[in-house]
Amino acid sequence: MTPLIALALTQQKPETPELVTRKPVPYVAIRSKETIKTLSTVFPRLMPKIRDWCVKHHLKDTAGFLRYYKVDMDKGLEIELGVVVDKVIPGEGEIRTGKVPGGKYVSLTHFGNFYNLIPQNGAVQDWAKAHGKTIKMSKPDVFASRIEYYYSNPDTEKDPSKWKSEIAYMVK
């Protein structure tokens, strides 16, 4: 862990999660298998392809997101990196399209450096357990919907304290 990440993790207390009902959200994404070490390369490697595809197909994109399917610190992560768009059209090649499922979610809005999302994810999981909510899985080791939305763009907003993100776990 770099000193910057360690400092960011110690300077942020988890916000309070809440139970929300969400509607399905159309998206464009690329699915990928990563490790903890390669996770930091996902945005610069894949987001330009996704955004270029959206422009080519006249889709308006809003928030970026990282959707987790499998999380295994030893075997790796299965994820989708994508953007929320205004409508669903057929994907092509490595580009996937669809809708993030609607339903009940435990959600936490976070203001601050995106590196602080590690303890925030823990806060969401702890809150769900303390409130009798079970995180929904589509298979024993696959999340039905675990997603981090990024509403701020670090390229245009340089102050990390102003970055807004949201963590959402679908629950039963």
Share of the chain above pLDDT 90, in %: 80
The pLDDT, as a whole number, for residue 103 is 98
Report how far apart the first and last C-alpha atoms of the chain are (Å, whole number).
34
Where residue 13 falls among pLDDT bands split at 50, 70, 90? low
Looking at the predicted structure, is the pLDDT value of residue 10 above 90? no
* Coil/strand/helix, residue 16: coil
pLDDT of residue 140: 92
Residue 148 φ then ψ, to 5°: -115, 120
For residue 9, is pLDDT > 60?
A: no
Long-range contacts from 46-55, C-beta under 8 angstroms, 24+ separation: 46/81, 47/81, 47/83, 49/94, 49/95, 50/81, 50/82, 50/83, 50/95, 51/83, 53/28, 53/95, 54/28, 54/83, 54/85
Sign of CA dihedral 26, 104, 108, 142: negative
Alpha carbon separation from 43 to 57, 64, 90, 104, 172 (Å, rounded) = 20, 9, 22, 27, 30
Residue type, 142: V
Q: Confidence class of residue 2 from pLDDT cuts 50, 70 and 90?
A: very low
What pLDDT is stored for residue 14 in this prediction?
52
The whole-model pTM stands at 0.88
Question: What are the structural domains, with CATH classification, of the chain?
Answer: 14-170 (3.20.80.10)
